[in-house]
Amino acid sequence: MREYTKLYIDGAWREPEQGTVLELTDPATGEVSGRVALGGEADVNRAVAAARRAFVSYSRTSREERIALLERIADEYERRADDMVEAVTAELGCPRALSRGMHFAAGLIQFRAAAEVLKTFEFVSQRGATQVRKEPIGVAALITPWNFPALQPAGKTASALAAGCTVVLKPAQLAPYSSIVLAEIMEAAGVPAGVFNLVNGRGSVIGNALSSHPDVDVVSFTGSADAALQVSTAAAKTSKRVATELGGKSPQVILPDADLNVAVDTALTWLMGNTGQICSAPSRTLVPRERLEEFLEVLVPRVESLKIGDPREDGTHMGPLISAEQWQTVQHYIQEGLDAGATLVTGGPGKPDGLDSGHFVKPTVFTRVTNDMTIAQEEIFGPVMSVITYDSVEEAVGIANDTRYGLAGYVTGTDLDAARDVASRIQAGYVIINDAEFDWTAPWGGYKESGNGREWGPDGMNEYLETKVVLGS
């Protein structure tokens, strides 16, 4: 049983001045897994004041000092691997192997990558007598979602600290454990007081107080469009910068010459992985009409052999969804698909046999989906595949782009020139061809309603920098 009664503010663990205690349950069992103190507006004020004070000296640290700090954080992060893995599994219900191989690994890489980026980042450029300088913007509020509870706080924090900003992190209230471990890592790594602060709490309270705070200079927000609108509205009063990373309804274009095993690997990793709770999930699967049967012959046995169950048991591929509410949402969409006339190939409503206590769902595949159906247009955030057939590549590209989102795209095809051509026509921020290895340092972000920000690597650092021109230097 985890018991976290304090917030991390100004270099120390402190009782909230104002707040409540939230009881969290294990998504796999429904049993209480811990209690977490949630702060209030007074705690945000304390944290922002601490970050503002710390900014005076931290913003003037040298590149070398910040590189050394990020490396110390990364070393400590690595030392706390088991704690991070257990935290993610407890809050998200993610199978341990995935908590380690994906969540922990992606969190760690952000600190190592930020140190590397910092080594060569150009803060000053000279154009004749004109000097253009990139300077840390100030206090950064980092608001993160629950589905990548280690990566999201790590990516934002690493970029902000590399840039010379101080931060106040507000993680999702459903998944606060890994952020608490992160704060412990910061403390152990010797991050100066006030440079990193953690205030757990509700979005409507803590998120709103941060977004509207006059002493916060930038908000980096990842989450839903509804909350992003509220953040942007609250931030507008003080004209602060708001970077948003939102949802998606990403296409996977399986080209006529595709290796269907590669196509299915992509779907299992990115759509069924993390129990479908992936913003960039390829949840619209575009298959050439003449290869549909063949595709299903490869896909369905592999989906049906996924081992669903206890995330702490070796060999489990798929854990539960995070909450009862998320379970209801996914059920609602499965019913929507049935009502709209899509054909259910495997999965469907309800819980898998013998898994009644946690928020488990059946990995589900629909065919005969048309792109105007709700299940093809709205983000489900669960392991639900909508297969849409097409007759020409031209038509496939049209369907791929017929969405208000533009976070990611996937292209599977043997002729790489043809695959690259399709990739160049997909309106999305991140396109993966075949089984290309993921690059955690390439700019991450979306087109259209998937947000306006770019995270990670040099682009991620830019979100925390202001531009100053000095003439006559």
Based on the shown chain and the rule CB under 6 A, indicate whether residue 204 belongs to the binding site for ligand NAD. Answer: yes
Based on the shown chain and the rule CB under 6 A, indicate whether residue 283 belongs to the binding site for ligand NAD. Answer: no
Candidates 104, 148, 360, 456: give the one binding ligand NAD (CB under 6 A). Answer: 148
Based on the shown chain and the rule CB under 6 A, indicate whether residue 246 belongs to the binding site for ligand NAD. Answer: yes
Four-residue CA torsion sign, 327, 429, 450, 77: positive
Quickly list H helices, 31-102.
41-58, 63-79, 81-92, 96-98
Please identify, using beta-carbon distances, which residue of 147 and 367 lies nearer to ligand NAD: 147
What whole-number distance in Å separates Cα of residue 162 and Cα of residue 78? 19
Quickly list H helices, 59-196.
63-79, 81-92, 96-98, 105-120, 151-163, 177-188
Supply the minimum distance, in Å, between the C-beta of residue 329 and ligand NAD: 10
Q: Site map for ligand NAD, 258-277, x if CB under 6 A? A: --------------------
Based on the shown chain and the rule CB under 6 A, indicate whether residue 154 belongs to the binding site for ligand NAD. Answer: no
> What are the respective helix, strand and coil percentages of the chain, to the nearest 5?
40, 20, 35
Catalytic choice (76, 86, 91, 245): 245
Please identify, using beta-carbon distances, which residue of 248 and 382 lies nearer to ligand NAD: 248
Binding segment toward ligand NAD, per CB under 6 A, in 37-45, 63-71, 192-200, 222-230: 222-230
Four-residue CA torsion sign, 132, 215, 204, 168: positive
| 245 a catalytic residue | yes
What whole-number distance in Å separates Cα of residue 329 and Cα of residue 381? 8
Of 289, 261, 292, 432, the C-alpha closest to 365 is 292
Residue 71 φ/ψ, nearest 5 degrees: -70, -35
Please identify, using beta-carbon distances, which residue of 70 and 246 lies nearer to ligand NAD: 246
What whole-number distance in Å separates Cα of residue 31 and Cα of residue 423? 45
Contact 176, 92 (CB under 8 A): no
Of 453, 464, 381, the C-alpha closest to 228 is 453
Supply the minimum distance, in Å, between the C-beta of residue 430 and ligand NAD: 9
Region label for 204, one of left (φ > 0), alpha (ψ between -120 and 50) or beta (otherwise): alpha
What would the two tokens of residue 358 be? 């946690």
Candidates 25, 131, 224, 232: give the one binding ligand NAD (CB under 6 A). Answer: 224
Q: Which of residues 365-394 bind ligand NAD (CB under 6 A)?
A: 379, 381
Residue 423 φ/ψ, nearest 5 degrees: -55, -40
| 279 a catalytic residue | yes
Supply the minimum distance, in Å, between the C-beta of residue 136 and ligand NAD: 23
Supply the minimum distance, in Å, between the C-beta of residue 2 and ligand NAD: 19
Supply the minimum distance, in Å, between the C-beta of residue 427 and ligand NAD: 15
Based on the shown chain and the rule CB under 6 A, indicate whether residue 197 belongs to the binding site for ligand NAD. Answer: no
Please identify, using beta-carbon distances, which residue of 14 and 213 lies nearer to ligand NAD: 213
User: Which residues contact ligand NAD (rule: CB under 6 A)?
Assistant: 143-148, 170, 172-173, 203-204, 207-208, 211, 222-224, 227, 230-231, 245-248, 279, 379, 381, 407, 446, 451
Q: Which residues are catalytic?
A: 245, 279
